[in-house]
Amino acid sequence: MDFNVKKLASDAGVFFTRAVQFTEEKLGQAEKTELDPHLENLITRADSTKNWTEKILRQTEVLLQPNPSARIEEFIYDKLDKKLPSRMTTAELLGQYMLDAAKEFGADSPYGSTLITVGEYQKRLGGAEREFLQTSAAAFLSPLRNFLEGDWRTISKEKRLLENRRLDLDICKARLKKAKHAEAKAAAAPDFQETRPRNYVLSASASAVSSAEHELRVAQTEFDRQAEVTRLLLEGISSTHLNHLRCLQDFAEAQTTYFSQCHHHMQELQRELHSSNPAFPSDHSSPGASFSACDPKPGPLSMEPPATGTRKAKVLYDYDAHDASELSLLADELITVYTVPGMDPDWLVGERGNEKGKVPVTYLELLS
């Protein structure tokens, strides 16, 4: 018990001394040892990495889960190291509502059958979203969290130790400076004290200087050692950047896959709706020019192809052919188009060099 009390008192004394040194430095009343410029740059770079990683992580969480209550629930389950209960995505829930509605309205009715079709595709969209969320969490969010909760905590701990070693070093420098000042003052003072002769005072001053010099050497050694440890850790931030770069690439690839799946599902949905209901707009309508059956106003690109002859056309959007009968298009390129008798009015025959195939009218601007 005595040992613990002494240690507590010693720690309190060290803390108080460091606090005094820190305060005097802030007030400009004490000298401060400056870190090596390279080490300062490493610290600044590491702090920026930590700050931006936190911001990117938080905003990505908002992107993947806009519902704050759901994010809090996920956070609690993660801290408790428990598996989050499976929940339906919004698209899956919407799809299920449509399927339930179709049962009530009758699956054989036009409205009911359409609800079933759209509902099934909504559930497919929800499945793609679920896969995207899982992939993004594993490939992007987890590595960022691991850095903040693992590597950065270690770096922060060593940075605090370095700051403490620097304060101890500056305290020892101040003590040595005071001891030397006292020694010089004692050497200049006349020998008139009977109880404490001049030689005794000089000896005590020299002993204080020697002790302060020893403490300074020890403090300098500990500071240099801690600075080296901190430097090695901070240089590892470059590896962190490389790791985060790979995570960014994985995240972008997951996004690309997700949006490609969504695009594919929606094209298939429009194909199916158009085949079951010819009054429904073509499945190849451009997002910028599409219009629903509920909107009587057609888009600006809804135009009839020429009855005969060939014309030049400018491609407005990229288009990927879905089978061998179609022609892939690149935005802004010029192609030759014409129609043939009996052809769907939403399509033209396009030619580019030796390539030929069907192209959607809504992706073209017909030139005079």
Percent of the chain with pLDDT over 70: 79
Which top CATH class is 11-190+203-276?
A: mainly alpha
pLDDT for residue 291: 40
pLDDT for residue 274: 82
pLDDT for residue 22: 77
63, 258, 304 from 127: Cα distances, Å: 17, 10, 38
Interval 148-200: pLDDT, tens: 999 999 999 999 999 999 999 988 988 888 888 777 777 776 655 554 566 66
Q: Tell me which residue has tokens 């080296």.
A: 228
CB distance 282 to 267 below 8 Å: no
- Give the DSSP per-residue string, 90-103: HHHHHHHHHHHHHH
Q: Is the pLDDT of residue 340 over 80?
A: yes
Confidence of residue 19 (pLDDT cuts 50, 70, 90): confident
Confidence of residue 307 (pLDDT cuts 50, 70, 90): very low
**How far is the C-alpha of 169 from the C-alpha of 161, rounded, in Å?**
12
Q: Is the pLDDT of residue 279 over 70?
A: no
Range with the poorest average pLDDT among 107-116, 187-196, 219-228? 187-196
Query: What is the residue-averaged pLDDT of the chain?
Result: 82
Do the two domains 11-190+203-276 and 311-367 of this chain adopt the same fold?
A: no
CB distance 310 to 321 below 8 Å: no
Superfamily covering domain 311-367: SH3 Domains (2.30.30.40)
Task: Identify which of 237, 192, 178 has the alpha carbon closest to the alpha carbon of residue 50.
Answer: 237
Q: Is the pLDDT of residue 215 over 80?
A: yes
Q: What is the crossing angle of helices 2-26 and 152-188, to 10°? A: 80
Q: Is the pLDDT of residue 81 over 60?
A: yes
Strand-strand pairing, 355-360 and 364-366: unpaired
Confidence of residue 234 (pLDDT cuts 50, 70, 90): very high
- Residue 365 pairs with which residues in a beta bridge? 314
Task: Identify which of 356, 274, 286, 281 has the alpha carbon closest to the alpha carbon of residue 316.
Answer: 286
Interval 83-102: pLDDT, tens: 666 678 889 999 999 999 99
Q: Domain extents for the chain?
A: 11-190+203-276, 311-367
- Give the DSSP per-residue string, 48-114: HHHHHHHHHHHHHHHHH---HHHHHHHHHHHHTT-PPPP---HHHHHHHHHHHHHHHH-TTSHHHHH
CB atoms under 10 Å from CB of 270, counted, come to 18
